[in-house]
């Protein structure tokens, strides 16, 4: 039996830079305590334990099946609003 110890959904991290904002995608992940005794950080694109090769695609899907936050969480740049201080100086 596998145990999911931690799970995080994919999200964007926003960084303010000199001439605007940068949106960096952070994919969702699940930390699974494998049957082999090791803890592995797994994603939807890599659901296999790196120690024993066990496939935990189902556990990853269940761990990441959190209710979606909506369009604002998926596209934060659409809701950033106008920023007067952003842009090129005259």
DSSP 8-state class, residue 64: T
Q: What angle do CA 42, 5, 34 make, to 5 degrees?
A: 60
The tokens of 42 are what? 């797994």
Total domain count, the chain: 1
Reported pTM: 0.67
Instruction: Look at residue 78 and tell me if it is in a domain.
Output: no
Instruction: Look at residue 43 and tell me if it is in a domain.
Output: yes
Structural domain boundaries, residue 37: 3-67
Which helix H or strand E contains 5, and what residues bound it?
A: strand 3-8
Instruction: Look at residue 79 and tell me if it is in a domain.
Output: no
Given a contact cutoff of 8 angstroms between Cβ atoms, the answer to whether 42 and 33 are in contact is no
Where are any strands of DSSP class E within 10-49? 11-17, 20-26, 29-33, 39-42
Q: What is the pLDDT of residue 35?
A: 86
Q: What is the mean pLDDT of residues 53-79?
A: 78
Tens digit of each residue's pLDDT (9 = 90 or more) over 2-41 = 788 898 888 889 899 988 889 999 988 999 998 888 999 9
């Amino acid at each position: 039996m596998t145990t999911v110890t931690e799970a995080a959904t994919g999200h964007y991290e926003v960084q303010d830079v000199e001439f605007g904002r940068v949106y960096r995608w952070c994919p969702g992940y699940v930390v699974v305590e494998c049957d082999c005794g090791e803890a592995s950080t797994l994603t939807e694109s890599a659901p296999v334990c790196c120690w024993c090769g066990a496939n935990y695609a189902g556990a990853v899907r269940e761990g990441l099946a959190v209710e979606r936050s909506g369009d604002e969480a998926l596209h934060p740049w659409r809701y950033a609003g106008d920023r007067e201080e952003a842009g090129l100086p005259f």
